[in-house]
Structure formats: C-alpha cells, structure tokens
C-alpha cells in the first residue's frame, strides 16, 4: 500500500477523536479491518481519552495489515522493524500536532495490531507508556534488549486461540517481564477474539494510577 517512509506524516489514513491526553489511546486494528474498527473498544476502555486510530499500511490480498508476514504465523521481521519505525514516526507527528506528550500513548491492539504494539514496545519503548494486547503473538524470535521499566502491559489472550496459543502467551509475557514491564494477564475461555466480558476489567486496569 505504501513504503515504510511514506506513511509517517498525517496523510496516512487515520481517525482522531479529541479527548483527555492524560492517557491517550493508540488503536491498532487486526488484519482486514481499518481505522474505524476499534473506536468503540477505545471508548469502552476510556470514554474520555483522546483516540488515534491509524490504518495499517500493508495490504495482504486486499486486507490492511500493519506489517507483512511470510505465511500465517510467520512474520517478516525485517518488514516488521521497518513498519514499527514508520508507525512510531506517525505517532510522534500526530502527537505533536494534537498536543499529546511524547511517550504518553497506550497502544490498544487486536491480533496483527497487538503484534505491532508489542513490537513497538520492544523496539521503540520511548513511544509508549503501556499497551493492551488482545490475541497477541510473539513479534520477534530474538527481541531487542529494551528497558520496559515503568511500562504497564495487559495481555488478554483466549485459552482456545489456535493462533495466539498458550505457548505464544507464555513466551510473550516472559519476554516483556524479563525486560521490566509490569504485565497483567486477563485470559478468557474463547478463541482469537476480544472477550466483551473482560473489557470492563481491563478498563479498570488501564485507569490505575501509574506507580
């Protein structure tokens, strides 16, 4: 859809919803969705937060994604690194334009969006204050040695998810905790989906004062 350097300005398709910038939310959709998909989730997590929702800049069989994969479950990590930098540049530009302090964003991602959110935490930790990861896999086989001290991360994976499996969940949580992140797991009994019953609990976790 575009090269990694094309989408760092505000011309990238996105939605901005004004609100409180104390804990702004960066909404990152799953494969085949777009910048409108997670707006209701953002409002459910924090009715007052400013929302920034960009569209993924890669197309796979006509479906927007945030980075390429070689096949299902196998990521193109070179492209992932480039797209993380692209997205971080866009977020910095949007934050400056809308008066959002650098590093105050909470990423909220589902599936492909969760994977680029965790990749951003690991590769560009200065861009995010925390993340909510729904149906998240492991983004890097050999993750960067990032300092995630003070970062809060919520992992909400399904116990019957055939893609973001129990092994993926264990490995991702371990990688984040090993780098200092404060990780809370909010599992559910379903598959590769957002569990509506868990959203209220997650909203309460997001609203906790920073330690």
Between 77-98 and 112-123, two packed helices, what is the crossing angle to 10 degrees?
A: 80
Between 112-123 and 166-178, two packed helices, what is the crossing angle to 10 degrees?
A: 20
- DSSP, collapsed to helix, strand or coil, labels residue 139 as coil
Residue linked to tokens 């939605």: 15
Question: Does the CA dihedral 106-103-152-47 come out positive or negative?
Answer: negative
Among residues 2, 76, 104, 192, which one is catalytic? 192
Cα Dmax for the chain: 44
Q: Is 111 a residue of the active site? A: yes
Among residues 53, 57, 111, 118, which one is catalytic? 111
Q: Is 161 a residue of the active site? A: yes
Q: Is 149 a residue of the active site? A: no
Do the Cβ atoms of 111 and 155 come closer than 8 Å?
no
- Here the tokens at position 146 are 């990032």
Among residues 57, 161, 168, 188, which one is catalytic? 161
Q: Which residues have a catalytic role annotated?
A: 111, 161, 192
């Amino acid at each position: 859809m575009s090269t990694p350097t094309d989408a760092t300005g505000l011309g990238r398709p996105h939605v901005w919803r004004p609100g409180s910038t104390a804990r702004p939310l960066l909404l990152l959709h799953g494969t085949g969705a777009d910048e409108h998909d997670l707006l209701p989730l953002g409002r459910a997590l924090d009715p007052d937060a400013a929302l920034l929702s960009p569209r993924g800049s890669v197309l796979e069989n006509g479906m927007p994604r945030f980075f390429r994969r070689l096949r299902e479950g196998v990521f193109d990590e070179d492209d992932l690194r480039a797209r993380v930098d692209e997205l971080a540049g866009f977020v910095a530009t949007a934050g400056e334009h809308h008066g959002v302090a650098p590093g105050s964003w909470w990423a909220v991602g589902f599936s492909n969006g969760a994977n680029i959110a965790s990749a951003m935490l690991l590769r560009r930790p200065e861009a995010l204050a925390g993340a909510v990861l729904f149906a998240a896999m492991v983004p890097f086989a050999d993750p960067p040695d990032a300092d995630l001290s003070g970062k809060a991360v919520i992992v909400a994976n399904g116990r019957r998810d055939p893609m973001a499996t129990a092994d993926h969940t264990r490995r991702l949580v371990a990688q984040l905790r090993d780098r200092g992140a404060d990780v809370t797991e909010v599992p559910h009994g379903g598959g590769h989906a957002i569990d509506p019953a868990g959203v209220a609990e997650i909203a309460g976790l997001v609203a906790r004062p920073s330690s």
